Amino acid sequence: MVETAIVAGVGPAQGLGAVLARRIARDGLHVIVAGRTMEKLDAVAASIKADGGAATPVVCDVTDEQQVVSLWNTAEAVGPVALAIYNAGNNMPGKVSGMTSDFFERCWRVCTFGAFVFAREASDHMSPRGAGTLIFTGASASMRGKEGFAAFASAKGGLRNFAQSVAKEFGPLGIHVGHVVIDGAIDGEKIHTLLPQYAAQRSGEGRLIDLSGIAEIYLQMHGQPRAAWTFEADVRTSAEPW
């Protein structure tokens, strides 16, 4: 059977999830393209197929446990999952003053709770085979809190600690767990559409991170031998202050 990959958190065609899916497909895996909007998923899957790859779009809200379980079952029905990427969790700014509990919980459910269900299913399906790669997408907020980002930082910080615990638990089972800290703005469709002036400023400063470069880091981690596994990689432009 053909090996499969799951990319959860796929949105615009020029977003990290879509770029990851297209890059993985070029390595011959059948990619399960998962996200909340079928129109966007269909477009990404179509672009993969146009390039000679294989893809299946699946609508999945990662905050819904049963939808995540179904996502994994769908992928395994196509073929054993060799690579699973949890890319859900977009930047959610907001000050604590006036913040609703629903907003805070939503941020946690997307970034952290969904990751727990996704990882549990990864273990259940991958551990009997003693192989597989599970990678989580992190952010600057994984490493530090910033004013106006308390909910997001707590969720992403929680994700990083969760991923580290999972890496130590799953490693002996043969599952390589990684966490990628994306430290800066990504040169993708969202920032250019929602924040065009900010994007133009960052671009002029050389501070928009290249999508294809990020994707290569994920694939490099997936291809590492067991005697040399990386848990965490951080990526930023040469101009990004850190």
**145 close to 153: Cβ distance less than 8 angstroms:** yes
**Which H, E and C letters describe 9-44, residue by residue?**
CCCCCCCHHHHHHHHHHHCCCEEEEEECCHHHHHHH
**In the predicted structure, residue 1 carries a pLDDT above the cut 80:** no
**In the predicted structure, residue 124 carries a pLDDT above the cut 90:** yes
Whole-angstrom distance, CA of residue 108 vs CA of residue 162: 12
Residues 145-198 have pLDDT tens digits of 999 999 999 999 999 999 999 999 999 999 999 999 999 999 998 889 989 999
Residues comprising the chain, all counted: 242
Tokens coding 156 = 């992403």
The stretch 210-219 carries a mean pLDDT of 97
Residue 238 pLDDT level (bands cut at 50, 70, 90): very high
**181 close to 140: Cβ distance less than 8 angstroms:** yes
Whole-angstrom distance, CA of residue 236 vs CA of residue 208: 8
- The pTM of the full predicted model, rounded to 2 decimals, is 0.95
Query: What pLDDT is recorded for position 92?
Result: 87
Query: What pLDDT is recorded for position 91?
Result: 84
Query: What pLDDT is recorded for position 90?
Result: 78
Residue 89 pLDDT level (bands cut at 50, 70, 90): confident
Query: What pLDDT is recorded for position 138?
Result: 97
Pick the CATH number of 4-235 from 3.40.50.720, 3.10.20.30, 3.40.1030.10, 3.40.50.1820: 3.40.50.720
Query: What pLDDT is recorded for position 194?
Result: 87
- Mean residue pLDDT of the chain comes to 96
Query: What pLDDT is recorded for position 164?
Result: 98
The stretch 232-241 carries a mean pLDDT of 96
Whole-angstrom distance, CA of residue 178 vs CA of residue 84: 10
Residues 20-66 have pLDDT tens digits of 999 999 999 999 999 999 999 999 999 999 999 999 999 999 999 99
